Chain A
């Protein structure tokens, strides 16, 4: 069954989602990957500020390709999430409720998700052209010098994803493959 969800992702809604739910996300999300995370948290330590409101925010681990003239954005699929594992717990602590990426997360991230009620969505890795079609607006709001790694504010419509890890710690990467192991 498809679950339609809207951002900002309020805690109540985040906690209701279960691993395996197929979702369509509509609303504002932010892109950030390796370099942006590093810079955000360094700046936070120095100034106590982040470039966008982290409360109930959904961060998309992605570095899109440049847009062609007349297009909103270039190809824009997820990047591998474990590289953000070092930064995610702090942001969840500060109020982030959703992450979109691909691939496994470490225990510390999962523990923090359980403690604060965040969820981890998987978008189809390598389906950048298809996913770009669900991005209706895009604007660089910080760290323009990082190029593809700049922070973008996106407006997405019916963005397809699957809940991989829910706020109880249920994890599709752990539960599903064994069913098909031979």
Chain B
């Protein structure tokens, strides 16, 4: 049994919220850099240059890359041999978010109720996903998510007869419909299989993978490749103003499912796809 103070979790989350929002992770930065050399539109190339310049300014001034510093999505993989002391874990996570958003001058974008829309003032609560895993470590990922792109995400409860071709068409369609709204170039996370909520979670987790990483499953790997190609042929381009850089990456995660179903979730993200990761 390993004893861990929840204060440690709180402090890690605080730092990670700020870092995730101010420093564009290297995989995304490099993907934009690479796109500059392949983008066919001159306006598109200029826009991609603005994006890396923006990231440079954000890093230099330690200010948010984008003003939508997101809803804090937090994944905790907790080793089953860990015992937390000093308070309730979720309270510590939310305290970390509160401190991070305050001290980092991040925008507070959370309203208390979906219908009675009063801002909570400190960007809490976070959306927390915990998973119990073997071992005695705590693996923390902080992935603040902006809603310009979140709003463009879709879930399709497809029929098995739709097959992989039907799934690919639906996923590409979601990107076409998103168009200029999610600040393209986008990053697209796809979840296939499981149940209604499982595929959504898989899609979200797919966004945590570094851009450029590929699925180890052969037919899913092929699917990722084809989706990337098809999406970049839609013409949407940077900011929706035309070009061949519509998406920087497509990551697909899959899971066993029921004989009667084929759930497909598409979680759309933007060129400010944020994820920081640490292990306690």
Chain A residues within 8 Å of B, Cβ to Cβ: 35, 62-68, 71, 74-77, 79-80, 82, 102-104, 122, 124-133, 146-149, 160, 162, 164, 172-173, 176-182
1/0 per position for B5-41, CB-CB distance to A under 8 A? 0000000000000000000000000000000000011
CA distance A94 to B208 in the complex (A): 46
Contact check, B63 vs A132: say whether CB atoms are below 8 A apart: yes
Given A65-B105, A74-B63, A128-B65, also A80-B58 (CB < 8 A):
no
B65 touches A122 (CB 8 A): no
B148 CB to nearest chain A CB (Å): 5
Of the A-B pairs whose beta carbons lie under 8 Å apart in the complex, a sample of 9, sorted by A's number, is: A63-B67, A82-B181, A104-B179, A104-B240, A124-B47, A127-B53, A128-B65, A128-B68, A180-B41
Smallest Cβ distance from B52 to chain A, in angstroms? Answer: 10
By the criterion CB–CB under 8 Å, are A180 and B244 in contact?
A: yes
Task: Give me the interface of B with A, judged by CB distance under 8 Å.
Answer: 40-41, 43, 47, 50-51, 53-55, 57-58, 61, 63-69, 105-109, 117, 119, 121, 146, 148, 151, 179-183, 233-237, 239-244, 270-272
- Enumerate chain A residues within 8 angstroms of B65, measured Cβ to Cβ: 75, 126, 128-129
The reply to whether B181 and A181 contact each other, CB–CB distance below 8 Å, is no
Contacts of B242 in A (CB 8 A): 172, 176-180
Q: A35-B117, A66-B105, A74-B64 are in contact. Are A130 and B181 (CB under 8 A)?
A: no
B210 CB to nearest chain A CB (Å): 19
Max chain A C-beta neighbours (<10 A), residue from B50, B107, B182: B107
The residues of A that contact B63 with a CB separation of less than 8 Å are 65, 68, 71, 74-75, 129, 132
Partner of A180, one of B61, B151, B237: B237
- Cross-chain contact A147 with B119 (CB below 8 angstroms): yes
Complex CA distance for A74 and B69, rounded to whole angstroms: 11
In the bound complex, residues from chain A placing their C-beta under 8 Å from that of B69 are 65, 75
- CA–CA, A65 and B70, complex, Å: 11
Contacts of A79 in B (CB 8 A): 68, 148
Contacting residues, chain B, for A35 (C-beta < 8 A):
117
Contacts of B40 in A (CB 8 A): 180
Which among A80, A126, A182 is the interface contact of B66 at CB below 8 angstroms? A126
